[in-house]
Amino acid sequence: MSILVTGTAGFIGSHVAQRLLARGDQVIGLDNLNDYYDVSLKQARLARLMDVPGYTHITADLADRAAIEQVFAAHKPQRVVHLAAQAGVRYAAQNPHVYVQSNVVGFLHVLEGCRHHDVEHLVYASTSSVYGANTAMPFSEHASTEHPLTLYAASKKANEMMAHSYAHLYGIPCTGLRFFTVYGPWGRPDMAPILFARAISEGKPIRVFNHGRHKRSFTYVDDIVEGVVRTLDRVPGQDPAWSGAHPDPATSGVAPYRLYNIGHEQPIELLHFIELLEQNLGRKAQMELLPLQAGDVPDTEADVSDLVAATGYRPQVSVEEGVARFVRWYREYYGT
């Protein structure tokens, strides 16, 4: 199968591309290799893909309409896994235009490519951040998400609404995936696991917001990949067993559209995550305990019952095992 994967120099995208190649798919990888964080890490991720049979790489920006049109016209992917986006919740506050160009305008270009080239199924990344001010736990796909607290979350909520409109108007099968606190090897250096691991290793203090009392559904990257691949293989409207459908009031039917959480069902406190890092690094953390940041939510907890019903899969890797694997990679890659 020919699959376009956007964001293949990124954390999750590189893992998904590897998995698809390993099972024999042809992967067209797309990334703009921007300098939001260390480009050498992105290049190292790509290096693991470049010589694998079946992989073709394209360096292009999602916001470049002509370039994305050319990708679809030249390669005619059967399915699309859209993972590229401008990352970093905090970064959005200082650079809102970058977020809208990448996460909204860029997503429109992907949708248009799918529309005009008969793509069988679009799977795209959303985020647990869309739950925003919700306090009812666990977070369910059937709860309201009308109150995002950050521009990043708002851009992803916009993606969900755009995808539904294209599913309804043009019959494009679309599946959105709300990821919960992904961590693991090859993660972004601006994310807490690497920030904390580096500071602990160097004996420097780490900033811990909400005094470490956050609870998060920390989800190991391999579990995310498994969820992506399983949903990719189940095209809305073609699989009689599929669930998670959203009623379409305009037709009194169902648009070929699904939305799933992918997250570990057992959230843990951030302080426990730090304890696991300490145990695996063999050093104690120095912590600067701070109040809750604007835009942060105290807790997240994933309800994955729809994912289980549709695919038979729920995340498997315990946080203890996941942190151990992450630290082994961290030490090997960074030489600490």
In a domain, 278, yes or no: no
The token pair that represents 64 in the structure block: 């470049």
Query: Which pLDDT tens digits describe the chain residue by residue (336 residues)?
Result: 999 999 999 999 999 999 999 999 999 999 999 998 999 999 999 999 999 999 999 999 999 999 999 999 999 999 999 999 987 766 767 788 988 999 999 999 999 999 999 999 999 999 999 999 888 999 999 999 999 888 999 999 999 999 999 999 999 999 999 999 999 999 999 999 999 999 999 999 999 988 888 899 999 999 999 999 999 999 998 755 444 555 544 444 578 999 999 999 999 999 999 999 999 999 999 998 888 777 677 789 999 999 999 999 999 999 999 999 999 999 999 998
In a domain, 29, yes or no: yes
Structure pTM? 0.94
Catalytic residue from among 55, 99, 131, 152: 152
Positive or negative CA dihedral for 270, 271, 274, 275?
negative
In a domain, 206, yes or no: no
Strand 268-269 and strand 215-216: the pairing is antiparallel
Q: How far apart are the first and last CA of the chain?
A: 40
**Helix pair angle (106-116, 151-170), 10° resolution:** 20
- Count the neighbouring beta carbons within 10 Å of the beta carbon of residue 331: 14
pLDDT on residue 249:
46
Number of domains, the chain: 1
Name the residue among 12, 39, 32 with its Cα closest to residue 219: 12
pLDDT on residue 154:
93
pLDDT on residue 299:
87
In a domain, 65, yes or no: yes
DSSP string, 87-144: --TTHHHH-HHHHIIIIIIHHHHHHHHHHHTT-SEEEEEEEGGGGTT--SSSB-TTS-
pLDDT on residue 248:
47
pLDDT digits (tens, 9 = 90+) for 9-57: 999 999 999 999 999 999 999 999 999 899 999 999 999 999 999 999 9
The yes-or-no answer on residue 257 being catalytic is no
In a domain, 149, yes or no: yes
Identify the CATH number of the domain in which residue 26 sits.
Answer: 3.40.50.720
pLDDT on residue 239:
56
pLDDT on residue 240:
52
pLDDT on residue 246:
53
pLDDT on residue 250:
47
In a domain, 132, yes or no: yes
pLDDT on residue 134:
87
In a domain, 231, yes or no: yes
Name the residue among 267, 269, 263, 268 with its Cα closest to residue 315: 263
In a domain, 22, yes or no: yes
Name the residue among 159, 302, 177, 173 with its Cα closest to residue 227: 177
Domain that holds residue 231: 2-181+218-264+301-316
